[in-house]
Amino acid sequence: MSFKSLRDLLAPRTATRAPLTTVPAAAPAAPSAPAARPADGEVLLETAGLTKAYAGADGELPVLSGIDLKVRAGEIVALLGKSGSGKSTLLRCLAGLIPPSSGTVRYRGTPLTGANPGTAMVFQTFALLPWLTVQQNVELGLEARGVAPKERAGAAVRAIDLIGLDGFESAYPKELSGGMRQRVGFARALVVEPDVLMMDEPFSALDVLTAENLRGELMELWESGQFPTRAVVLVTHNIEEAVLMADRIVVLGARPYGTIRETVEITLDRPRDRDSAAFDELVDRVYRIMTGRPKETRLPGRADAVQPDRRTVANTPLPGATVDGLSGLAGMIAHRGGRCDLAGLADELALDIDDMLPQVDALDLLGFAEISGNDLVLTDTGAAFADADVQESKTVFAAAALDVPLVKLIANSLRGNPGTVVRAGFFRDLLAHHYTSEQVDRQLETATDWGRYAELFGYDAAPQEYRLDEGAELPR
């Protein structure tokens, strides 16, 4: 059975359908149920001035800043952004799983002080308990709410039927494919009939065909009008997925911390045609928003003067792109006359656009390419890099890399001291003021890759030491 069976399963029901289960009013863990289902357009979730920061070496590391967002009944909202933009953190704040550092999160007008009683979560990694059967996994949420065993068993069976896993009630997670495991995750979330279903990149751990099938069935279930939830908030890094599923896309920017860069309303009829010009136009628009440069800031007290942001280690994170990766993209653009439509190139390579964004960001950061409309265009320096032989390309790359704050920091720490070393821990301590430990690892990994290729410095992994080779001369 698939999601398509929903119509057969619930055909006799109307908008006032019987719930999958009824949570006893006396259950101590059960949230107080709303008196009526919210009408389309009613605000279910709202954030005002939401800021989230985590403890760092010398204070708090901001992840989100000044987020104002409303989620209304009857809509699917996609939170879209690059890695590090804070989209998953925002989702967890909406679900009440983590508290904001400042600002408020409200569910149907009431500020949250703990877990949100009106939401349920579907995770990227399935998060099933391997020692429980499918049915037992689905019953977990109801059990926590104090629902009687007989009633929760019936509700779980109906939810399992709903998502197309009837016949697998007694199976264990290890017996299921990735797609089937994620269906269990959906059933476990839907069985409690939340007002808002929260999905954190629920398709990213699946193969392409399984993900496409599950997305399609989920959207058919939503369009049927019998979806047992009133709104959906989807976290994704996939532009096409957001345009395909969402009514509204909230694009988060990540420099230096997560803010709402722009909100895009999607008015295309469903089911949506990926091959239509309107669909492509929306994908290109969102792509331009995601790759656009941060706005310039005005000088205090002077309305007519603007000052570009000064690039620092804190506000200029390195994208996760290797030299081979960014060099390969530069070469492809050069072979197409120095300009290419990135969406077209992604289709040609059977990739999602977002798979190429780290390389695009790297070319932009190094001054090798710039965005012009929907196209990525090589600069003169970028063209020289793409066309150079190995040794010449190292020279061009070295000059560009020394304008990147973290690479420059490492190189200048060694300048004038050939044969001496600087421990990686020194740079980790500096980066820890602005990044989480995981982000610090990624930043240093990329900077090391770039610096080694450019022969700006060497790195010994065992003692974790950077060094300037004897006879090495840094570009000035």
pLDDT of amino acid 19: 53
Q: What is the pLDDT at residue 356?
A: 82
Q: Residue 146, by phi and psi: left (phi above 0), alpha (psi -120 to 50) or beta?
A: left
Distance CA 298, CA 355 (A): 34
What pTM was computed for the model? 0.70
Band (346; pLDDT cuts 50, 70, 90): confident
Give residue 418's pLDDT: 63
Share of the chain above pLDDT 90, in %: 23
Look at domain 323-467 and name its CATH class: mainly alpha
Question: Going along 108-154, which residue ranges are E strands?
Answer: 110-111, 119-122
Residue 117's SS3 state is coil
Question: Residue 102 and residue 279: Cα distance in Å, rounded?
Answer: 37
Q: Write out pLDDT tens, residues 95-115.
A: 999 999 899 999 999 999 888
Task: Give 309 or 302, the one with higher predicted confidence.
Answer: 309
Q: How far is CA 10 from the centre of its chain?
A: 34
Q: Averaged over 106-125, what is the pLDDT?
A: 88
In the prediction, which pLDDT does 37 show?
62
Q: What are phi and psi of 43, to 5 degrees?
A: -75, 120
- Percent of the chain at pLDDT > 70 equals 83
Average pLDDT over residues 44-72: 83
- CB-CB contact of 305 with 299 (8 Å): yes
* pLDDT recorded at residue 25: 36
Residue 207 to residues 17, 177, 210, 221, 303: CA-CA distances in angstroms? 35, 11, 5, 21, 51
pLDDT of residue 299: 32
Distances 189 to 114, 196, 419 between C-alpha atoms, Å = 18, 10, 59
Specify the CATH number for 3-23+39-289; select among 3.40.50.800, 3.30.70.920, 1.10.10.10, 3.40.50.300. Answer: 3.40.50.300
CA distance 414 to 455: 13
What is the mean predicted confidence (pLDDT) over 372-398?
87
Between residues 465 and 415, the one the model is more confident about: 465
Across 2-11, 59-68, 373-382, 386-395, least confident range: 2-11
How far does Cα 333 stand from its chain's mean position?
Answer: 27
Q: Is 125 helix (H, G, I), strand (E, B) or coil?
A: coil
Strand partners, 196: 119, 231
Of the ranges 32-36, 316-320, 328-332, which one carries the lowest mean pLDDT score? 32-36
- In this prediction, residues 393-418 reach a mean pLDDT of 87
Average pLDDT across the chain, whole number: 80
Q: In the structure, what pLDDT confidence band is assigned to residue 416 with cuts at 50, 70 and 90?
A: low
SS3 call for 67? strand
In CATH terms, are 3-23+39-289 and 323-467 the same topology? no
Give me the residue spans of the domains in the chain: 3-23+39-289, 323-467
Q: Picking from 192-201, 278-287, 408-417, which range would have the lowest pLDDT averaged per residue?
A: 408-417
Q: Look at strands 76-81 and 248-253 and give their pairing.
A: parallel
Which pLDDT band holds residue 150 (cuts at 50, 70, 90)?
confident
- Residue 454, strand partner residues: none
Alpha helices in 402-460 (DSSP H): 405-414, 424-431, 437-453
473: number of Cβ within 10 Å:
10
Phi first, then psi, for residue 153 (nearest 5°) are -65, -45
Over the stretch 35-44, which tens digit does the pLDDT of each residue have?
Answer: 466 777 899 9
